Amino acid sequence: MALYPYGLMPIPENETILFSNQAVLMEPIIPYKSKSSSIWQCSHPDCIAYPRSKRAIFCRAVQRPLRAFIFILGILTVAWQCFLYLFQHDPTLAVFPGERDLSLSNWSNYGVIPVPCNSHNDYWRHIPLLSALRAGCTGVEVDVWPWGSDILVGHSRSTVLRGTLQSLYLDPLLNMLNTHNAPPSRNWSKVTSQEMVGLFSYDPKQTLTLLINCKTEGDRTWPLLVEQLNPLRGKGYLTHFNGSDVVYGPITVVVGGDAPLHMIVENSTYRDIFYDAPLGNLTFPTGITADYNKLMDSTYNPSNSYYASTDFRKDIGPLSLAVCRILSLLFFGGRYMLLMSWD
């Protein structure tokens, strides 16, 4: 469509218009089309009109080759990642110096250095259990409540909606240990063919302490816990007492709170659930000796207790007195780890 020069009424295209007694034929407007057909040639009008201008030279020499390089690099990166994903278990693929040992490709916390610390109320972490493992914690603490035939996790009855002990802790631990103890995770120099490896590739023999705090009804929680530990027990992943010695495994289960000590010591030849002993009730052998046989005669000893914890202000007292008591306890066999709780 076109317009009369001195009016606003549209006229059809190709219609003859008179300007100063001359006939003019209105031609339809044809959109501009670039004559550039190669991907290496810039389609910008200035570059086409002035091929020797600085802009045109910059496009040809820098801009377009850079775009092509980034595109090709992206394709190669995606292809390489797909290749590693498909063949990550092949030990012959370590082609670059210093490349991560592919036998550790299935270790979820590869490179994490274990630290002797405990993740208190671990179920409040962003990702229960995994957050603690990635931070290097060698212990996690979880509060549990019996509920029917299952064990729920939470700080109180009103906050037990996050999951169960089995779904948040026992099943993930079993899956990780099964992966770590199968090829190719075992095919490296730090692990012999007979050893059971744990959760940390930096120290495969490091045990993880799972501290289970029974909030209530310990006698009811006990049989549920024993049953749910069967998969880990059957694989040999649990630290246990065999009647004479403590044999350490990838997972050490410790119970506290309302846990029943009488059920723990009921079996004198095998135990794989240990007690969180009350620090204020510990007794020293005669002469404060570290003799192992006399330690075993105590109510709380290495065969049934792994931790000794207490309310710091209640049982330890002032800091100066606390230092003396802690040093005495460490001298007392050196087999206990102290857990001071303020809640």
> What values do phi and psi take at 310, rounded to 5?
-165, 170
Q: Give domain status of residue 186, yes or no.
A: no
137/68 same-domain check: no
Q: Give domain status of residue 246, yes or no.
A: yes
Q: Which residue has the higher pLDDT, 282 or 100?
A: 282
Beta bridge partners of 24: 17
Please determine, for residue 279, whether its predicted confidence score (pLDDT) is greater than 60: yes
pLDDT at 40: 56
Beta bridge partners of 320: none
Report the relative pairing of strands 137-147 and 240-241 from DSSP bridges.
unpaired
Decide: residue 245, CB within 10 A, 0-12 exposed, 13-18 middle, 19+ buried. Answer: exposed
Q: pLDDT band at residue 208, thresholds of 50, 70 and 90?
A: very high
54/172 same-domain check: no
Residue 341's closest CA among 314, 321, 303? 314
Report the relative pairing of strands 137-147 and 208-214 from DSSP bridges.
parallel
Q: Which domain holds residue 302?
A: 115-180+198-281+297-311
152/55 same-domain check: no
127/61 same-domain check: no
237 CA to centre of own chain:
20
220/258 same-domain check: yes
Q: Give domain status of residue 165, yes or no.
A: yes
Q: Which residue has the higher pLDDT, 341 or 292?
A: 292
Among 183-187, 216-220, 229-233, 331-335, which range has the highest average pLDDT?
Answer: 229-233
Look over the chain and give the mean of its residue pLDDT values, rounded to a whole number: 75
Please determine, for residue 95, whether its predicted confidence score (pLDDT) is greater than 50: no
pLDDT at 193: 54
Number of separate domains in the chain: 2
